[in-house]
Amino acid sequence: MTETEMAGNFIHDIIDDDLAAERLTKGVHTRFPPEPNGYLHIGHAKSICLNFGTAKKYKGLCNLRFDDTNPSREETEFINSIKQDVRWLGFDWQNRLYFASDYFQTIYECAVQLIKAGKAYICELNAEQMREYRGNINVAGTSPYRDRPIEESLRIFEEMKAGKYKDGTYTLRAKIDLASPNFVMRDPVIYRIQHSYHQRTENEWCIYPMYDFAHPISDAIEGITHSICTLEFENHRPLYDWVLDNLSFEARPRQIEFARLNLTHTVMSKRKLRRLVEEGYVNDWDDPRMPTISGLRRRGYTPEAIKDFCDRIGVAKSNSTVDINLLEHCIREDLNKRADRIMAVLQPLKVVITNYPEGKKEWMILENNPEDAGRGKRQLAFSREIYIEATDFMEDAPKKFFRLRPEGEVRLKGAYIIKCEEVIKDALGNVVELHCTYDPETKSGSDNSGKKVKGTIHWVNAKTAIPVKVNIYEHLFNNENPEDVPEGVDFVDTLNPESLKVIENALIEPIMPMVGEKFQFLRQGYFVVDQDAMPDEIIFNRIVSLKDSYKG
RNA sequence: UGGGGUGUGGCCAAGUGGUAAGGCACCGGUCUCUGGAACCGGGAUUCAUUGGUUCGAAUCCAAUCUCCCCAGCCA
């Protein structure tokens, strides 16, 4: 995404039309309306980028509004995390932080207005009866209370509000069309009795408006011009319009639906994510394997990468599942330019350079980021004993293996070319150490040997390297679409058992990294310092591996 | 069986009657002291299908099919 503008889409076409027809006298105004009952995920990021990005593109405004119309499932913990996540992504609602609960009085008055106009009535069907009386595709619904006198509805509604009735005794229904082929329009409930404590309004109310009633009213109150939501609300649009048609707000918001994001190798439904957390399949909402914003943040994703991703996937109306490769591409691209390189050995294999004098030490010069000379260079100690990656040595190596092999030569990044002279094994035949010789003529920066080797490997100096813990993350699920499991199979049974591998004793160059700092471990991937890291125990999370075209 | 949507290469996605953008993935190649990055090149005779209109159709019309959503006092 460029600094100022996101890619166009069908919603912007609609706005362009509205602008051309001069329907938008006060400019474009959108809103991001999360329900505070869970953590935000990458799918919400798409919506956030769309809403805030659209406002920015048209020099309009975007509000943050919590849809807190159901007190039984909402918590302040979520409100705080949502605010933090939106802010972290880089969006600013300025002073326009709202709650649907701010409008409860107005919404209530709207309900009264509808009753007085004969457009809403008190129904006393219970939930089960309501289902039966709704009819079906072929049969129209009914309600014995549809023609209840206005005065009576008004009185009962007043009593409901006053707390005279138990939950479920009565509902307020919009009088629309019980025969509508769209079930949403079969006299939908717009108010229900719910004696529960509300985080914001506390015990002021015991009746709460339904989403379908509260949302259009909230939009109208805030002067929202384009109310962007996901596809499953398409059936609700006639009701959204009905509510506005039958009340008298000046503003006339318009609902537009787009397809929610799906990603391969992960799940996105709140219910499933909640299960992963509550049943301990992951550590928490911010587990680096989670597709939550907080999980991605802890994993080391940057807001820039996420926004770039959201811009690249586009906005349309067809259900689709984006390849997680694209997300990974976005973070690699971002970090390639920004992350300093260091050398880290995940599986150390000791190498003794037999012809290198004992006690001798040289300072090697390495660039911090070849993509950005401005990041400068650093010095690295080199001496007789080093560690290389165990996987960079192979006894019976295939031809295309460009790393170390018996009798073979390889370049140590930023240092010398070494030759493997002897392989030391333990009693079980495992390779435990290599004896190599180095060629003094091949020092980086002053190589006059004319020698060419095919491979360059990373290393750390045995004396100065520091041990760290590294979390290697893989996809949460091996299968592309874990939402779609065979009948009778629980999706948690398809979790990737190797989504987290902990390496306790990796070795890195001597550095003092800060929590959240990101690096490229040369030839391996991008890593971030986990928030749980301590001065005496550094923990890295692998953000994403480097691409690897080696076909071994 | 009713209503609402959707269908462009493996995955996203432009295209709005004038002869199929772009990205990811994939496959070649160049270059490289990261098998990274960068850079070149490759791919839809075809836009769900079948008809029709037109000089000309992914775009217009008709029919058919696919997949998704809807009968919560959830959002």
Average pLDDT over residues A24-36: 97
Residue A6 pLDDT exceeds 80: no
- Return the HEC string of A91-150: CCCCCCEEEHHHHHHHHHHHHHHHHHCCCEEEECCCHHHHHHHCCCCCCCCCCCCCCCCH
A235 touches strand B (CB under 7 A): yes
Please give the CATH topology (third level) of the domain spanning A344-464. Ribosomal Protein L25; Chain P (2.40.240)
Is A254 a residue of the active site? Answer: no
A350-376 pLDDT, tens digit per residue, is 999 999 999 999 999 999 999 999 999
Nearest residue to nucleotide B11, by CA–C1' distance, is A323
Confidence of residue A2 (pLDDT cuts 50, 70, 90): very low
What is the ipTM metric for this complex? Answer: 0.97
Calpha distance A92→A63 (Å, rounded): 9
A72 vs A280, higher pLDDT: A280
Sorted by where each begins, the domain ranges of chain A are: 3-263, 270-340+468-545, 344-464
Through-space separation of residue A177 CA and nucleotide B51 C1' in angstroms: 39
Residues of A 79-108 whose CB lies less than 7 Å from any atom of strand B: none
Calpha distance A495→A478 (Å, rounded): 7
Q: Provide the pLDDT for residue A17.
A: 94
A193 touches strand B (CB under 7 A): yes
A391-430 burial code (b ≥16 CB/10 A, e <16): ebbbeeeeeebbbbbeebbbbbbbbbbbbbeebeeeeeee
Through-space separation of residue A522 CA and nucleotide B34 C1' in angstroms: 6
A531 touches strand B (CB under 7 A): no
The reported pTM is 0.97
Instruction: Looking at the structure, give the CATH architecture of the domain made up of residues A270-340+468-545.
Output: Orthogonal Bundle (1.10)
Which CATH number applies to A3-263? Answer: 3.40.50.620
Calpha distance A498→A474 (Å, rounded): 7
Query: To the nearest whole percent, how much of chain A has pLDDT over 90?
Result: 95
A78-112 pLDDT, tens digit per residue, is 999 999 999 999 999 999 999 999 999 999 999 99
**Cα-to-chain-centroid distance, residue A217:** 30
Query: Which of the residues A161, A252, A260, A274 is marked catalytic?
Result: A260
Is A260 a residue of the active site? Answer: yes
Calpha distance A503→A312 (Å, rounded): 34
Q: Which nucleotide is the nearest neighbour of A234, by CA and C1'?
A: B4
Q: Kindly compute the dihedral angle of the four CA atoms of residues A50, A54, A55, A59, in this order, to the nearest 10 degrees.
A: 160
Is A35 a residue of the active site? Answer: yes
Q: Which nucleotide is the nearest neighbour of A443, by CA and C1'?
A: B33
Query: Which of the residues A270, A272, A274, A317 is marked catalytic?
Result: A270
